[in-house]
Structure 1
Amino acid sequence: MIRQYELVEKVRDYNPNTDEALLNRAYVFGATAHANQRRASGEPYWGHPLEVASILTDLRLDDSTIVTALLHDTVEDTPATSDEIARLFGEEIAGLVDGVTKLTKLEVTSTETAQAENFRKLLLAMAKDVRVILVKLADRLHNMRTLDHLKPEKRRRIAQETMDIYAPLAGRMGMQSMREELEDLAFEVLNPEARTSIMRRFLKLRRDSGDLIPKISAELSRVLAEAGIEAEVRGREKKPYSIWRKMEEKQISFSQLSDIYGFRVIVTTDADCYAALGAIHRHWRAVPGRFKDYISGPKANGYRSIHTTVSGPGAARVEMQIRTWQMHAVAETGVAAHWAYRDGERVENPFAVDPYSWLRDLLARIEAGNEPQEFLEHVKLDMFTDQVFCFTPKGEVVGLPRGATPIDFAYAIHTRIGERCAGALVDGRRVPLWTRLRNGQQVEIITAEGQRPSPHWEDMAKTGRAKHAIRRALRDRQREEELALGRDLIEQTFARRGREGGAKAYQAAAVKLGQPSVEAMLVQLARGELSAHQVYEAIYPSPNAVEEVAPEPAEALTDPKRVRGVSRGAAVIFCQTCLPVPGERIIGLARRGGVVVHEMSCPILEQHEADLTRWHDLRWSPDASRTPANLARIDLTLLNQPGTLGKVCTLVGEQNANIDNIGVSTRKPDFFLMTMDIEVRDLRHLNDILTSLRAQSFVNKVERARHAPPPGQELSVDQPRLPLGTDPAAGA
């Protein structure tokens, strides 16, 4: 376990201006908070935050990140609170600790939908402050180094999560060294037999041919020195997981692998990189097709280097990576280099390209709100694949995942170009859209007006951006076709029955059928989930259906009372303001000699809220809706044109309802307002009538009438009829 003074010394080595008091306070606070805790191995828990902090000091990170590492488990695993962290260490550190705490609670290997949602949260945390992810990656790295004492199933879960999410994420952030270690540690848990087999092959190879790394390193150093190039040469065997993955991808055996050794040549300037490349190619034969220049065309995460493979001693293929020291820092630490310190100062931004452009693109997809499973698929496609670089006719570089096609290239330029893609020229030759692109090719997209994405394109595309755009276009096209088909079906039904359709009619039907919108109703029509007859019946119920509910002439009500809950002999009066009908919740308001029946939302009840002793809970008689003797009042705004009133009366009559009275309150040149009393059976019968009226183009507005009397006005028991041509009266 690293000691307090050792940690402070490590930070001071690269940042002499470090806030030692802050680091010491964080050390003491964390050690105290975790004092009685033990890890599964039995070791003090405090050793884990210390090791996480130590990993981050190797990346030369700022004080706030180191302190966050020391405190990252305190809020989750100890009585410490976020407020306490903010008070003692400041809002910045408290925010970072809170971000790491939230990420720790994610279970990324749960169901696919939850995994996608958790990955959204992880990316959003990165966008807010990338140091949160740096601490989380260091936390995961130390946990992977100390998995031995966990149960096998938990070890496998953590290792799989690391292989699926955290190792590729480290790679996408340019932290190649951390990615390789995470992958190899996870590989050892997930497939120990394969890893052991590869390690045995390495031992056998060393016995048969000796250790080639020192020999090649010495010869490479000599070649560069003779060319006058000052360079440091580092050689290594590739990691077991890297070897195994290549064997799986190419379906070859270990003995067929051509480049199990890798060397890095680190020089001072960009010009030295190309000079070293020339010296190496003059000394050893270059392997055709194995050259990549990431200096002139950096990767999306900012990585720059020259890669070449040569035929070395004993015909062994050797991969060379040539880069400057600045490029090397980016290659090893990735976006962490953006936060690195040297001699107490933040280093100058070493990135040749914006290292966060890929993150912004992913966040744009989050905001687009596509399906969680699609989002996760796109993230994996874009984050976890190697890249090829192609050129537009204007010389602009477009980075794409390996295996990308002209369709991916088109969508990478612009979604509109992708949707209109009709063909492609690669290096001046016409090629099929499923052609796989290679490094350095020039691609020109041929577009055509009227061209639309094909369902086959989804299988051809490799990038998440292209797949998402194609699926969205196909869904939009399918929806357009469904809307057109649904509209045709309902229009034909209305036309056959001689009824007026249109937007108002469809809107009224959608509301009656409980649909969220007219479009949703039309889509259900097209899919057969709803019939055109049902839509028509929602507006114009058939007479047969109405007659089935209506009572037979000989069927008389055995009890003349329509409400229950009133004392025998008490007078029952229906409020002329709300005119409740069966099916609505009713309340009785006591008055001399009886009660006045109100619907629950009646505005008159508000005048009597202070005297609840007068309130009585009433209910409708079971027979109340068996005869159309319940009066309902509606307000209508109609276009002032010939035949309008007659059409209204016809519609009401077709619903087996009787108009009891009509009052016109306002008459204008283009419209008039009227109030109508209608005898209905119940609330459902009334709603059918209202729906039919709302569907008509000549009806501007229709709703239940609520004409409350002035406060304090006495309610008349004998409510007069509405005189034709006057304002509707209210009260009772």
Structure 2
Amino acid sequence: MQTIDALDSTLRSYLNPEQTQQVRRAYYFAEQAHHGQLRRSGEPYVTHPLAVAGILADMHMDHQSLMAAMLHDVIEDTGIDKSAIGSQFGSTVAELVDGVSKLTQMEFDSLAEKQAENFQKMALAMARDIRVILVKLADRLHNMRTLGVLRRDKARRIARETLEIYAPIAMRLGMNTVRMEFEDLGFRALHPMRASRIEAARRASRGHRKELVEKIRHQVEAALEQEGHDCEVIGREKHLYSIYKKMKSKKKSFSEIMDIYAFRIIVDSVDTCYRVLGCVHSLYKPVPGEFKDYIAIPKANGYQSLHTVLMGMHGVPIEIQIRTLEMEEMANNGIAAHWLYKSEGQSANASHARAREWVQGLLEMQQRAGNSLEFIESVKIDLFPDEIYVFTPKGGILELPRGATAVDFAYAVHTDVGNSCVACRINRRLAPLSEPLQSGQTVEILTAPGARPNPSWFNYAVTAKARTNIRHFLKHQTRDDSVALGRRLLEKALTGSGSGLEQLGEERVNDYLARHGYDELNDLLDDIARGNRLPPITAQQLLGESDTAHASPDLARADHDGQSLAIRGTEGFMVSYAKCCHPIPGDPIEGYLSSEKGVVVHRESCKNLAEMRENRERLVALRWADEVEGEYLSHLRIEVENRRGMIAVLATRINSMGVNIERIATEDKDYQFTFVDLEVLVGNRVHLADIMRRLRNHSSVRRVTRIKN
């Protein structure tokens, strides 16, 4: 158990006496505030904040971070508030403590929502001061180290959250040492049996491998010394969780994973890194395609190193990483190394800038997300460990997660480019937006002024920025569509009584909105389009004929028998076409106002619509407009001779007419004839009749019918 005096000696090695004294003062304040409180292990509670400060001191964090670590549970667990901390230790420390503190005063529907809200609050605090996340990571690390005293179910929940959120965040911020400890501790808590088996196997293999590891290390050292390079060669051992993940993802046994020997070479300069690379490549044969230069193109978290894989003696694969001492510090402590190196130049500041850029991206996601659960899902998506590097047409480099598509690329360039994207060129050839990108490709995005995001992009967009922006745009687009449709429905209902919204006057409309709890007219129109409020009843209430919840039969009939609503095919998300009867332009149609779905268009002869006529007030009289846009699904059944190649013949004939086939299925009628069911996209009834006529003209086709229900 660490004491304040032991911590004091660490602090004096890099802080001045005044700063060290301030950290001590924060400790005594926390000790007094937590007096009488014990941890589950039975220790005084203050041992936890002291240990958190010790973790940060090992990273050489500044005195304000250490003070915040000492005080991080004071607001949550004692009667002391943020203002009291601010008056004692300054506003900066108070803000850091508040950012780390959990939300305790709010009620949540579920534990998941509570965790999401806490993380969202922390992300906002991170945007103001990045040190919030460093204190939080140190807090979580000490909690993980002392997980054994908790109930099994609670320990598993905390371990899972750590592996899903905090370990990837540590990775994203370049804090590799913290990330590895998170993963190993989390793995042991979630799968204790698997962890102990792998640990035992690793210990056993260590003895068998020791001689060969030493032999390879001496060979590498000797070759480098001969070339005059003063380097340190260290044998690396894979940590438990990475062994487990590789065994699971690559479906390999432990012995196959441990066949690879890994070494790290620490040198004095960037120039020496490349010279050493040449030496090891001349010593052992490099494996093609396995060289990665993260010095020229650093990872998103600022990580820099040269990676190569060599084929050693007896065909043993050897992984080698080559980096400078400063790069090693950056790889282990990431953004925390910024405070250690901040006076020494560029690279640490670049790492810090990248971290701030990521946090700003989190903030943008938070503003566009609908709720905290949606936000935390976006964060999980964003925490990809693998990256690819692609080029813009002007030679700029963009970093994206593996599996990213042109849609992700477009949103990475700019939100407006993503929203107006229509096509892409990959290495100067036209390619589908859904094609996964590969490192080194040049991507060009083609845009159009009137274009808008497509809901199908959700199927292949992988970055959190792309998914959040698509969702945000579609939400607003749905709102615009529903307001426009709601206005048309209400105007039509009012027209049945010889009135309209403009004739009612602003005062009467505002009075109605106030009485029914609406902030503005658009909210009412949105509710009407979604089927939550019926147009005839709303019209009746607006006209002042009755303030009851029931429409008069006369007005309902006037709404249904009056002027019908014209469907143009451009109404957007709030008008959908029934899948039971597949209406197309030219069919007599009728609408049903479905709750939260808007108007569902049916054919007048649809059997399902007959059942819906009991709720007459939900029916909407519809007709097709003179000019209708878009393509509509129609279902055909074709009876053909049962012979080889007939489906290909039918598909070719339909495609020759420029018609898209959405679905095709077959069903044997008997040994002589087969039914072929087709779903095709058509413009209207005339277009469908042409397709059916072309199909009937084939000698092997016996009958073509349109399926009505």
Give the TM-score of the pair, scaled to structure 2. Answer: 0.69
C-alpha distance in 2 between matches for 1:497 and 1:194? 74
Counterpart position of 1:535: 538
| Larger deviation, residues 18-27 vs 392-401 | 18-27
Counterpart position of 2:673: none
**TM-aligned CA deviation for residue 182 of structure 1:** 0.9
Check conservation: 2:362, 2:379, Cα contact below 8 A.
yes
> Which residue among 523, 529, 533 is the counterpart of 1:520?
523
Check conservation: 1:301, 1:356, Cα contact below 8 A.
no
Please list the CA deviations of residues 355-376 of structure 1 after superposition, one character each: whole Å capped at 9, or x if unmatched.
2101011112223353333211
- Cα separation, partners in 2 of 1:90 and 1:534, compared to 1, 3 Å: closer
1:284-295 alignment runs, 5 A limit: 284-295=284-295
Counterpart position of 1:664: none
Please list the CA deviations of residues 606-647 of structure 1 after superposition, one character each: whole Å capped at 9, or x if unmatched.
xxxxxxxxxxxxxxxxxxxxxxxxxxxxxxxxxxxxxxxxxx
2:157 is equivalent to residue 157 of structure 1 = yes
1:454-469 alignment runs, 5 A limit: 454-469=454-469
What 5-or-longer segments of structure 2 have no aligned partner? 553-709
Structure 1 residue matching 2:533: 3-state secondary structure: coil
Structure 1 residue matching 2:304: 3-state secondary structure: coil
Partner amino acid, structure 1, of 2:541: A
**TM-aligned CA deviation for residue 212 of structure 1:** 4.2
Check conservation: 2:368, 2:469, Cα contact below 8 A.
no
Structure 2 residue matching 1:262: 3-state secondary structure: strand
**TM-aligned CA deviation for residue 168 of structure 1:** 1.8
Partner amino acid, structure 2, of 1:154: K
Partner amino acid, structure 2, of 1:62: D
Counterpart position of 2:578: none
2:252 is equivalent to residue 249 of structure 1 = no
Structure 2 residue matching 1:170: 3-state secondary structure: helix
**TM-aligned CA deviation for residue 418 of structure 1:** 1.6
- Name which one, 1 or 2, has greater alpha-carbon Rg: 1
C-alpha distance in 2 between matches for 1:413 and 1:148? 46
**TM-aligned CA deviation for residue 390 of structure 1:** 1.2
Structure 1 residue matching 2:236: 3-state secondary structure: strand
Which structure is higher in helix share? 2
Please list the CA deviations of residues 399-439 of structure 1 after superposition, one character each: whole Å capped at 9, or x if unmatched.
11121111100111112222232322223333322222222
Partner amino acid, structure 1, of 2:543: Y
C-alpha distance in 1 between matches for 2:297 and 2:86? 43
Counterpart position of 2:389: 389
C-alpha distance in 2 between matches for 1:109 and 1:213? 54
1:624-643 alignment runs, 5 A limit: none
Partner amino acid, structure 1, of 2:269: T
- Cα separation, partners in 2 of 1:23 and 1:210, compared to 1, 3 Å: closer
Structure 2 residue matching 1:456: 3-state secondary structure: helix
Give the TM-score of the pair, scaled to structure 1. Answer: 0.67
Please list the CA deviations of residues 161-212 of structure 1 after superposition, one character each: whole Å capped at 9, or x if unmatched.
2222222221222111101101110110001122223223324534555454
C-alpha distance in 2 between matches for 1:137 and 1:308? 31
C-alpha distance in 2 between matches for 1:312 and 1:31? 57
Structure 1 residue matching 2:302: 3-state secondary structure: coil
**C-alpha RMSD over aligned residues:** 3.4
Counterpart position of 2:124: 124
Counterpart position of 2:225: 225
Counterpart position of 1:498: 498
- Cα separation, partners in 2 of 1:107 and 1:349, compared to 1, 3 Å: farther
Check conservation: 2:493, 2:536, Cα contact below 8 A.
yes
Counterpart position of 1:372: 372
Check conservation: 2:130, 2:356, Cα contact below 8 A.
no
- Cα separation, partners in 2 of 1:397 and 1:346, compared to 1, 3 Å: closer
Partner amino acid, structure 1, of 2:333: T
C-alpha distance in 2 between matches for 1:259 and 1:414? 45
Structure 2 residue matching 1:356: 3-state secondary structure: helix
C-alpha distance in 1 between matches for 2:472 and 2:77? 44
**TM-aligned CA deviation for residue 213 of structure 1:** 3.5
- Alignment: residue pair count: 546
1:71-220 alignment runs, 5 A limit: 71-77=71-77, 85-86=85-86, 88-102=88-102, 111-206=111-206, 208-210=208-210, 212-220=212-220
Check conservation: 1:339, 1:346, Cα contact below 8 A.
no
Counterpart position of 2:557: none
Partner amino acid, structure 2, of 1:351: N
Check conservation: 1:156, 1:189, Cα contact below 8 A.
yes
**TM-aligned CA deviation for residue 479 of structure 1:** 3.1
2:237 is equivalent to residue 237 of structure 1 = yes
Counterpart position of 2:680: none
- Cα separation, partners in 2 of 1:110 and 1:243, compared to 1, 3 Å: farther
Counterpart position of 1:11: 11
C-alpha distance in 1 between matches for 2:547 and 2:243? 78
2:330 is equivalent to residue 330 of structure 1 = yes
> Which residue among 348, 351, 357 is the counterpart of 1:350?
348
**TM-aligned CA deviation for residue 109 of structure 1:** 12
Counterpart position of 1:321: 321
**TM-aligned CA deviation for residue 53 of structure 1:** 2.2
C-alpha distance in 2 between matches for 1:282 and 1:3? 52
Please list the CA deviations of residues 59-93 of structure 1 after superposition, one character each: whole Å capped at 9, or x if unmatched.
11222323333343445445666566555544443
C-alpha distance in 1 between matches for 2:525 and 2:106? 40
2:315 is equivalent to residue 312 of structure 1 = no
Counterpart position of 2:659: none
Partner amino acid, structure 1, of 2:134: L
Structure 2 residue matching 1:390: 3-state secondary structure: strand
Please list the CA deviations of residues 470-501 of structure 1 after superposition, one character each: whole Å capped at 9, or x if unmatched.
22233333333333333333333344443344
- Cα separation, partners in 2 of 1:209 and 1:503, compared to 1, 3 Å: farther
C-alpha distance in 1 between matches for 2:543 and 2:25? 78
**TM-aligned CA deviation for residue 237 of structure 1:** 1.6
**TM-aligned CA deviation for residue 394 of structure 1:** 1.0
Check conservation: 1:14, 1:341, Cα contact below 8 A.
no
Partner amino acid, structure 2, of 1:279: C
Check conservation: 2:86, 2:94, Cα contact below 8 A.
yes
**TM-aligned CA deviation for residue 312 of structure 1:** 3.2
C-alpha distance in 2 between matches for 1:233 and 1:361? 38
Structure 2 residue matching 1:263: 3-state secondary structure: strand
Check conservation: 2:365, 2:378, Cα contact below 8 A.
no
What 5-or-longer segments of structure 1 have no aligned partner? 550-732
C-alpha distance in 2 between matches for 1:384 and 1:350? 22
C-alpha distance in 1 between matches for 2:199 and 2:547? 84
**TM-aligned CA deviation for residue 467 of structure 1:** 0.8
C-alpha distance in 2 between matches for 1:198 and 1:377? 31
Counterpart position of 1:561: none
**TM-aligned CA deviation for residue 463 of structure 1:** 0.5
| Larger deviation, residues 178-187 vs 409-418 | 409-418
Identity fraction in percent = 42
Partner amino acid, structure 2, of 1:42: G
**TM-aligned CA deviation for residue 465 of structure 1:** 0.9
Partner amino acid, structure 2, of 1:531: L
Counterpart position of 2:62: 62
**TM-aligned CA deviation for residue 310 of structure 1:** 2.6
C-alpha distance in 2 between matches for 1:329 and 1:108? 41
Check conservation: 1:49, 1:69, Cα contact below 8 A.
yes
**TM-aligned CA deviation for residue 386 of structure 1:** 2.5
Check conservation: 2:303, 2:331, Cα contact below 8 A.
yes
**TM-aligned CA deviation for residue 235 of structure 1:** 2.1
C-alpha distance in 1 between matches for 2:109 and 2:542? 50
- Cα separation, partners in 2 of 1:426 and 1:211, compared to 1, 3 Å: farther
Counterpart position of 2:276: 276
- Cα separation, partners in 2 of 1:63 and 1:511, compared to 1, 3 Å: same
